[in-house]
Chains A and B, each alone.
Chain A
Amino acid sequence: MIDESKQNLVCFRTLGKDQPWSLQTYIEVGGYSSLKKLLKEKTEAEVIIEEIKTSGLRGRGGAGFPTGLKWSFMPRTAPGQKYIVCNSDEGEPGTFKDRDILRYNPHQLIEGMIIAGYCIGASVGYNYIRGEFWQPYERFEAALAEAREAGLLGADIQGSGFDFELFVHLGAGAYICGEETALLESIEGKKGQPRFKPPFPAGFGLYGRPTTINNTETLASVPVILEKGGSWFADLGKPNNGGTKLFSVSGHVNKPGNYEIPMGTPFKDLLELAGGVRHGHRLKAVIPGGSSVPVLPGDVMMELDMDYDSISGAGSMLGAGSVIVMDETTDMVDALERLSYFYHEESCGQCTPCREGTGWLYRVIHRINTGAGKKQDLDLLTDMANKIQGRTICALGDAAAMPVTSFLTQFRSEFEAKINNKAAV
């Protein structure tokens, strides 16, 4: 069982308090002290970036890129406008953690963004919030107003000479805008279509200016790391897997929800925290990192720890920490059909393998699921998935292919059964 003293230490530290989202509550738990200290002492950006590197913080948006390293790529002293952009698009099925940061601890994200801006030499930030998140958006806006009122945002913050403004850009329903360069296009008022990389955003980002994009949870972790020290954070987790992480647990569990626990916690402990599998059923499968990562059989998952290395050692990925739990009653063909529909629906259409391939994947899985599958369909699916992977501008293509190959590898007999028993359907 996970010790309560190990829970809610970072992004969820205001949880359980009265009005956890208010400035007053945030200041009571130590909020804005990191920012005030670095502004007062005029701490060198390099020193802060070193501390972030020590913490082992890795991007919480899915790719797990080391945050300190990402910040160090910015030409911070180069003249001209630079930007910090927060990715609160949160559209990966199974993921619902950033919404709770926005709703319950918006000030910590604001503080994290100001500190990031200070480190990379940006005086303007945007938080891209998905358009459906209206209540979280209003919470975040209210927190921005409080911060401005308190002199924590705007010109010459706390008399330091450092200016920083922060705005919200609301999305309007497009999963692809979570991809960082599509997100930048969207802020520029365009269709959210990913850009070719290179150039990378650190050189050519928003409006062609150097830009750093980080996930909500990544940025909201920063103030606590600076308050308590990089090694404090790193030591909460495991080597190469520092800190705590928000895990969004959904599906067939008794207590679905977000759990902030140390990285490296055994999956079985997280499952217990989430109340175990519903109705006392047997665990069948888990998608450990959001719909885009390979599915794993339940018995494999029960031996793993919730960190980047343990999950990738078993052939999947920690992704955004979005744990989708499936019990023995789950129809895996049905589940994969729904996921394939999603990627087909959300493909931005720029690359032929993704635009056409996702449509084909969906149609073939649909026909298997509706009893019209053919013997050769499974090989066809594998072949198509392989033809998408690695041949597209952005990772949505891979994200569409990986569920298909992993479902077919792990649960092949269910697909075969639907094909063979089609008369019975």
Chain B
Amino acid sequence: MTEMTLSANAITEIEKELEKYPADRKESAVMAALRIVQDEFRWVSKEIMQEIADLLEMPAIHVYEVATFYSMYEHKDVGQHKICVCTNISCQLCGSKKVLDHLKKKTGVGPGETTPDGRITIKEVECLGACGGAPMMQVGKEYYENLTTDSIDRILEGLD
């Protein structure tokens, strides 16, 4: 595995984020920094949190606290495709359990697991604010709504 370190590109992007906040409030960009890193590596290591801390001139422990507080940050490697299935109330009412069952049938893995080939990770998540399209799931950054077993098959086939 490539070593996780801040790329020049990531630093440029983080610096762009810093322009949003007062000059003496660099730590405001910590969430963006973690996202930028995760977009590149799929997860965030403690080492790279230290680098973020140095860049934003904040204690590493604060970066760590933030990274563990918010549910979107990953602390170990996940599959190439992260599938987040909403099972909250509206999705539950509209059959999110069937979505999970079908995903399990197709991929062999359930919530919190990754396929042995490292392609797909499945997560059960809270309401994603798309309840009108229940049941729904997020794959990477995209939302997929009004899921049926057929549409799930097509989505899975479309993944590289």
Contact = CB atoms under 8 A, between A and B. Distances in A.
Contacts, number: 149
Interface in A202-243: 207
B131 A95 contact: yes
How big is the A interface, by class?
Answer: 35 or more
A266 interface: no
A134 interface: yes
Interface of B: 20, 22, 25-32, 34-35, 56, 58, 62, 65-66, 69-73, 84, 87-90, 92-94, 125-134, 138, 141-143
B129 A189 contact: no
Interface of A: 81, 90-96, 98-99, 126, 130-135, 167-175, 186-192, 207, 248-252, 256-258, 287, 291, 322, 324, 326, 330, 334-335, 338-339, 342, 345-346
B132 A257 contact: yes
B138 A326 contact: no
Contact of A131 (B26, B35, B58, B133): B35
B33 to A, nearest CB: 9
A63 to B, nearest CB: 18
Contacts of B138: 132
Contact of B88 (A93, A172, A187, A189): A93
A335 B27 contact: no
Nearest to B89: A93
Contacts of B34: 172
Given A99-B129, A175-B127, A251-B134, 14 more contacts: A93-B88, A93-B90, A93-B127, A96-B131, A131-B31, A131-B72, A132-B129, A167-B20, A170-B35, A207-B25, A248-B131, A287-B89, A291-B88, A322-B131
Nearest to A189: B27
Given A93-B131, A96-B132, A131 B20 contact: no
22 contacts: A81-B22, A93-B131, A94-B89, A96-B129, A96-B133, A132-B84, A132-B138, A134-B142, A135-B143, A167-B20, A173-B72, A174-B70, A189-B27, A189-B56, A190-B66, A251-B89, A251-B90, A251-B93, A251-B131, A324-B90, A324-B131, A345-B126
Nearest to A249: B132
B129 A133 contact: yes
Contacts of A96: 129-133
Given A172-B70, A173-B71, A189-B66, A335 B93 contact: yes
Interface centre among A91, A135, A172, A252 (most CB of B within 10 A): A172
Nearest to A99: B129
The 7 A-B residue pairs with the shortest CB-CB distance, nearest first, are A189-B27, A173-B71, A172-B70, A173-B72, A250-B90, A250-B131, A93-B127
